[in-house]
Structure 1
Amino acid sequence: MSAPAEAVVDLDAYRANLARLRGAAPTAAQMAVVKADGYGHGAVTMARAALEAGSEWLGVATVEEAVRLRSAGVDGPVLAWLCPAGADLGPAIDAGVDVAAGSVEQLDAVLAAPARRRPRVHLKVDTGMARGGVRGADLSALIAAAARAHHGARIEVVGIFSHLACADEPGSPVNAEQRTAFDAAVAELAAAGITDVLRHLANSAATLVDPAAHHDLVRVGIATYGISPGEALGAPEDLGLQAVMTLRSALALVRRVPAGTGVSYGHTFVTQRPTTLGLVPIGYGDGVLRAASNTAEALVAGTRVRVAGRVCMDQLVLDLGDLDVRRGEEVVLFGSAGRGEPTAEDWARAAGTIGYEVVTRLGGRIVHRYLGAP
């Protein structure tokens, strides 16, 4: 391994996860979400693999992400659902990217975009998350403005969507409340004369456990990468998902130290007995969670070992105990539970966060290697 660390991405596992999610929502089209550089897996490669596997749509957050896909030759329907103030929407619209409008002001920005094509727009409804989109009188104003622009051939309203706040808590009453609010928004849009639209509400969690939220299209993100959308739903293997990314490195230094040796900044870890320490050339500068110091584990020579001391910017230390290993021995920070490796969820629990953050923050000097490339 020439780089300090590599993220090995198994595209066959990714395709298998897409198929599993397709089976959970067989009557809906599938949008594979590849925002945030494909959740840290590489947006272009994951987008190509998703389309090859039969996903009808791709989803990203920003128009810049969508344009990068188009510039790399990625075809197929793409929706970009964030519209920051001042964003240049013209290149995305001209590249055939669908855009979202979650307020009258955002719709005005779409209408003002210097584009040669008629914009294709998805209306964003706030059904109870209080994040993107609008509700109440503001929603009525958005629908009325969108209907005027649609019937005047200035835009084409092709979708209406919202996002679930508690889909990873199947028993939450919020889910039913949001579905009801969404249905009411769809009915209001139909009353304005727009009926032939894609309705999409379900994320990964709802795709797996809430058929009532499937509608015409499901947006599948974190589950496609083999990470559970929420602990209440079970571990990935319980959901029939396979880990897609394995983060691996190699020991750069191995040395024996006596009891009472303080390790890393602040000596938050002090050896209680003679032990072997292993230096791994990856740290928070590469996206490894500093909050996982002293708690997260890695796999070395078939044995789970713990991070010793604080994770540094460029490196971390493992307490190898009495393992007989040498410089160059492989280190798996996270990967597949089926292979006995720590998982992204394990690192998330160690750091008090979620698996989403573990994979999306990776970068720096980590290189990607793809298995089963299309």
Structure 2
Amino acid sequence: MNDHSPAESRRLLADIDLDALRANVRALRERAVGGARLMAVVKADGYGHGLLPCARAAREAGAAWLGTATPEEALALRAAGDTGPVLCWLWTPGGPWREAVEAGIDVSVSGRWALAEAEAASRAAGRVARVHLKADTGLGRNGSPPADWSDLVAAARAAERAGTVRVTGLWSHFACADEPGHPSIAPQQAAFADALAVAARAGLDPEVRHLANSPATLTLPEAHYDLVRPGVAVYGLSPAPEIGSPADLGLRPVMTLRAFLASVKRVPGGHGVSYGHTYTTSGETTLALVPAGYADGVPRHASGTGPVLVAGKWRTIAGRVAMDQFVVDLGGDRARAGDEAVLFGPGDAGEPTAEDWARAAGTIGYEIVTRVGARVPRVYRGERAG
């Protein structure tokens, strides 16, 4: 366990179970068909769980690749000693292309400008740039549109012949794989197959072709190709309730968010609670103060709806979430300052889950865990030496 000082952790902490993460990676690897390997996506500080500890645990469980959004994340992995394949996909002009090429990081290219950046970085670094060409098969974010794909592929093949680039991957991303049976899924698969065919005719022979995110890893084996690319599932969250709960999918949530009560007091009926007095006590009651707020990642729009386990029961936030704190009404139940309040976890002890919070806040579990702020200490269980 990589713990923090008691003074630091007795307000609020995120308890990270790395053994659960390793088990999730192994379970997802078992889902991969046809010899497909697994890329563990560790972007956004490991979905709020901690980039480096989660990356190490994923590698220990057999993740062949790691995936990041920003170059800074990928370079942090290299600085920490990770030497395995890493893909970084969210690039802008003028980014640290040379540093990435020097570090042996695979970079994603969606257009001619990005290919030119990779080629320039290769010449500056004196090293071949490892490039994944991304096709826009229907998501409409990054990726080369079909009208430009042949030109991009031809330019990349020319760069290979010039010795500046090696096309190591061809890839795309689903828009609606979290909605089984969605009418966009089959056309995206067909568009990706077409993009692969164009690349093959141009003479490209990548190491990996990849399309499957978390929901596709779980439900679309025909989309697994050479590599599956789960993100949120690595951290034990279901990518969508329609696909199943974490337990249904053989996954276990990795993060438990715990707070410790800062105050417990009796108040009379008619007492307003928090800003705006959107909640008023109906009678004499006990209020408990949870020292966590929207600066820590507790959604303000979960005011009056967010669940928390205090004194053995589910409570709902009373009134508005403030920057650093919120209140729960305990009714006739007792508690003391310093008692634990569990905002979410795996649900083993009856506590809410991240999905419960997502429903309460009208969002998705991804946002609940990734928004847990940097000032919340992470405590790692199951960390291995070495």
User: What's the TM-score once normalised by structure 1's chain length?
Assistant: 0.98
Overall identity of the aligned pairs, in %: 56
Pairing 1:261-340 to 2, within 5 Å after superposition: 261-340=271-350
Instruction: State the secondary structure of the residue aligned to 2:234.
Output: helix
Partner of 1:342: 352
**Alpha-carbon distance in 2 for matches of 1:44, 1:108:** 31
What is the aligned partner in structure 1 of residue 256 from structure 2? 246
Q: Matched residue of 2:125: which SS? A: coil
Q: Is the 8 A contact 2:258 2:342 kept in 1?
A: yes
**1:273 shift after superposition:** 2.1
Residue 189 in structure 1 maps to residue 194 in structure 2: no
2:88 corresponds to which of 80, 83, 103 = 80
Give the C-alpha shift of residue 85 in structure 1.
2.0
Q: In the alignment, is residue 68 of structure 1 matched against residue 76 of structure 2?
A: yes
Match status 1:128 vs 2:138: yes
Deviates more, 1:75-84 or 1:29-38: 75-84
SS at match of 2:348: helix
Aligned to 1:5: 12
Asked if residue 37 in structure 1 is aligned to residue 45 in structure 2, the reply is yes
The answer on 1:28 being equivalent to 2:33 is no
Deviations along 1:136-182, one digit per CA (max 9) or x if unpaired, are 22111111110110122110000000000010111112111101000
Give the TM-score of the pair, scaled to structure 2: 0.95
Contact 1:5 1:365 in 2 (8 A): no
Deviation at 1:297, TM superposition (A): 0.9
Matched with 2:25 is 18
Mapped to 2, the partners of 1:206 and 1:301 lie a distance apart of 40
2:60 is the alignment partner of 1:59: no
CA distance in 1, matches of 2:80, 2:353: 31
Matched ranges for 1:77-156 at <5 A: 77-113=85-121, 114-156=124-166
Judge conservation of contact 1:310–1:316 (CA < 8 Å) in 2: yes
CA distance in 1, matches of 2:369, 2:203: 43
Q: Distance in 2 between matches of 1:135 and 1:342?
A: 42
Give the 3-state SS of the residue equivalent to 2:184 in structure 1: helix
The residue matched to 2:39 in structure 1 has which SS? strand
Residue in structure 2 matching 1:166, options 159, 176, 184: 176
CA distances 1:97-129 after superposition (whole Å, capped 9, x unpaired): 100101111111111223232100000100000
CA contact (8 A) 1:299 1:305 kept: yes
Query: Which one-letter code corresponds to 1:149 in the other structure?
Result: A
Query: Which stretches in structure 1 are left out of the alignment for 5+ residues?
Result: none
Give the Cα–Cα distance (whole angstroms) in 2 for the partners of residues 305 and 137 of structure 1.
54
The answer as to whether partners of 2:119 and 2:165 remain within 8 angstroms in 1 is: yes
2:18·2:383 contact (CA, 8 Å) conserved in 1?
Answer: yes
How many residues matched?
A: 374
The answer to whether the 8 A contact 2:178-2:239 is kept is yes
Distance 1:322 1:93 in 2: 62
Cα deviation for residue 196 of structure 1 reads 3.9
Question: Partners in 2 of 1:333 and 1:236 — Cα distance?
Answer: 18
Residue 201 of structure 1 aligns to a residue whose secondary structure is strand
The letter for the 1-side match of 2:56 is R
Task: Work out the CA distance in 2 between the residues paired with 1:339 and 1:96.
Answer: 44
The offset of 1:20, in angstroms, is 1.2
Separation in structure 2 between the aligned mates of residue 14 and residue 325 of structure 1, nearest angstrom:
33
Unaligned runs of 5+ in 2: 1-5
For residues 250 and 323 of structure 1, the distance between their equivalents in structure 2, rounded to whole angstroms, comes to 17
Could you tell me how far apart the structure 1 residues matched to 2:74 and 2:127 are?
16
In 2: Cα distance, 1:303 partner to 1:176 partner: 45
Contact 2:294/2:324 (<8 A) preserved: yes
Distance 2:146 2:249 in 1: 37
The one-letter amino acid of 2:189's match is R
Looking at structure 2, the residues matched to 62 and 159 of structure 1 have their Cα atoms a distance apart, in angstroms, of: 18
- Work out whether residues 287 and 364 of structure 1, in 8 Å CA contact, stay in contact via their aligned partners in 2: no
The Cα offsets for residues 214-247 of structure 1, whole Å up to 9 and x where unpaired, read as 0000001001111110121122122111010000
CA–CA separation in structure 2 for the residues paired with 1:136 and 1:74: 35
AA aligned to 2:335 is V
